[in-house]
Amino acid sequence: MVYLDNSATTAPCEKAISEINSALHENFGNPSSLHILGMNAELKINEVRKKLADLLECRPDEIYFVSCATEGNNTCIEGAVRRNKRLGKKIVTTAVEHPSVLNTVKRLESEGSEAEFVSPESDGTVSAEKFAAAVDEKTVLASMMLVNNETGAVMPVKEAVGLIKRKNKDTLIHCDAVQAFGKMPVSVKDLGVDMLTLSGHKFHAPKGIGAMYIRKGVNIRPLLAGGGQEKGMRSGTESVPLIAGLGGALSEIPDFKSTLERLFELRNYAKDRLLEIGNIKINSNDSSLPYILNISVLGYRSETLLHFLEAKEIYVSSGSACSKGEVSKVLTLQGLKKAETDSALRISFSKYSSKEDADLLVGALKEAVSKLRRSVK
């Protein structure tokens, strides 16, 4: 099997699986209980909380566990806007955000907020200057992802934050770092954001666990009312096994410098081999995160190619796994023609991917192009 759909989800690493099993069998207490089993569960949660805080360069009490980044994005965006109406009613975000950001902003817009969606440049990135220019004295929140989930384009979050804070120091800034965390250095101290979200299953932790960073002093309204877990920010009994699994995956995050060097080499190797096929368009820019390579196989529908590859146990995607096969708005906004978006494939690597994987993919695509009837003009 060749698995190259790691932006959709990753296989849990052995350390994550081991930690989950240990928590299920031995550390199954409710962390809110006052007896020793509850205390041990709470200790495990706080151990992982500190480990994550160290990686993000923040305080442990600024980390909150949630079920996924969709919940985290909803909490940060809705919570900030609803609690801080005095700061204004305008929200600025990019037009290429994950649906959990875009649709949350659109819902708030339907309820009376003003929203501005800043389009990307032809290379898939959003200009920091254009993004900051959309912010005014009535902007309560600005949200910019760190890495785009379809193309791997790295957004200028740090630069945008600097420009925005000089323009309106009260504007709260949120960052969806789902496709970046665990694959490149992510420091909230360096970025300067007020809130940040991440998801465990994108870096070899289990599904069902994510986290939010909320800077101390930032006041947002929780989405869930209940028993007051996670310091009142996310009520509901914490899933100790999933949090433990997240901790296991954190322990196995590789050295960024050497891993990124290897992944850039792999991405460029795959790109060169793919271009040998002919009628291939590369949709990811050279500076994009090397874990993602978006291409168009001109003349062939994405779905047809996906099924051909699947029959050979080679797995890629036609775009965001969260958009269920819809035409890519990201690529359309990037300026691609319909024939190019209809034939787009997203190849997403992991730290375990190899040149052999790339060779098998290229060989299968060459066979597909020679056997399948052209269906996109």
At residue 114, what are phi and psi to the nearest 5 degrees? Answer: -100, 135
Domain with CATH 3.40.640.10 in the chain: 14-251
Strand pairing report for 139-143 and 280-282: unpaired
Beta bridge partners of 181: 184
Left if phi > 0, otherwise alpha if psi is -120 to 50, otherwise beta: which for 230?
A: left
Question: Would you state the pLDDT for residue 23?
Answer: 92
Closest by CA position to 73, among listed 108, 113, 117, 112? 108
Structure tokens at 302: 């994405």
Q: Averaged over 146-166, what is the pLDDT?
A: 98
Q: Does domain 2-9+254-371 have CATH number 2.70.98.90?
A: no
Q: Averaged over 248-260, what is the pLDDT?
A: 96
Any idea which of 74-78, 242-246, 288-292, 315-319 has the lowest mean pLDDT?
Answer: 315-319
pLDDT beyond 90 at 229: no
Domain with CATH 3.90.1150.10 in the chain: 2-9+254-371
Q: Averaged over 29-55, what is the pLDDT?
A: 89
At residue 268, what are phi and psi to the nearest 5 degrees? Answer: -70, -35
Q: Averaged over 332-361, what is the pLDDT?
A: 96
Known catalytic residues?
322
pLDDT beyond 60 at 321: no
Q: Please state, in angstroms and as integers, the Cα–Cα distance from residue 373 to each residue in 94, 177, 209, 258, 376, following that order.
A: 37, 39, 43, 42, 9
Split at pLDDT 50, 70, 90, the class of 232 is low
Q: Averaged over 146-156, what is the pLDDT?
A: 98
Structure tokens at 242: 């999933």
At residue 6, what are phi and psi to the nearest 5 degrees? Answer: -75, -10
Q: Averaged over 358-372, what is the pLDDT?
A: 93
Split at pLDDT 50, 70, 90, the class of 224 is confident
Cβ proximity of 276 and 297 under 8 Å: no
Distance CA 194, CA 169 (A): 11
CA dihedral 226→232→238→240, nearest 10 degrees, is: -160
What topology does CATH give the domain 14-251? Aspartate Aminotransferase; domain 2 (3.40.640)
Beta bridge partners of 141: 91, 172
The helix (H) or strand (E) run that includes residue 92 is: strand 90-94
Question: Would you state the pLDDT for residue 302?
Answer: 94
Q: Averaged over 76-87, what is the pLDDT?
A: 93
